[in-house]
Amino acid sequence: MHLSGILSKAIKANIITKAVKYKNFQEKIGEVIDIDKTANSCTVSLITRDGIGQVVYDVKVQSTEASLGSDWFPEQGDYVKLTENFKRYVIVGKFDIGQASAATESSTYDDIYADITGSGGGYVGY
C-alpha cells in the first residue's frame, strides 16, 4: 500500500470518525450528586462515550407534558436516565434499578472478532 493510502486511512480513522461520534444521539445512566431546583439542573456523575468517568455540572432536567402533572425532580443519590447529543446532557427521567439487572443479563461478555475477509462482519468468540 502506498504512503498516501495509509495516510488517508489514518486521517479517516483518527480525525473524521472521532468528530462524527459526538453527533450521534446516545442514552446514558448517571448518579445525581447535587441538585438545584431553582435552576432546574443537577450535577451528575456518569461515564462518557469515551469510557471516562466525569462529573457534569448544570445538567438540565427535561419536563414533558406527562411529567408536568407530577412533582418529580431528581434527588441526591438517584440514578437517572440522560440523553447526550453534541456533548450536551439532559436528564429525561428516573432510572429503575430493575432495568439495570435486565440489561446486565443480556450483555455480551465475550470479545467480538472481525472475520477474515475484513468485510466488517464478525462473530462472537467463546
Q: What is the pLDDT of residues 82-108, one digit of tens each?
A: 998 877 899 998 887 776 666 555 555
Give the separation between CA 3 and CA 121, rounded to whole angstroms. Answer: 27
Q: What is the pLDDT of residues 5-61, one digit of tens each?
A: 677 776 666 665 555 555 667 888 999 999 999 999 999 999 887 788 999 999 999
Q: pTM of the prediction?
A: 0.59
| Residue ranges of domains in the chain | 20-105
Third-level CATH fold of 20-105? OB fold (Dihydrolipoamide Acetyltransferase, E2P) (2.40.50)
Helix/strand/coil for 22: helix
Give the separation between CA 51 and CA 32, rounded to whole angstroms. Answer: 18
Q: What is the pLDDT of residues 34-47, one digit of tens each?
A: 999 999 999 999 98
The vertex-111 CA angle with 107 and 115, nearest 5°, equals 125
CA dihedral for 115, 116, 117, 118, sign (positive or negative): positive
According to the model, what pLDDT value does residue 126 have? 44
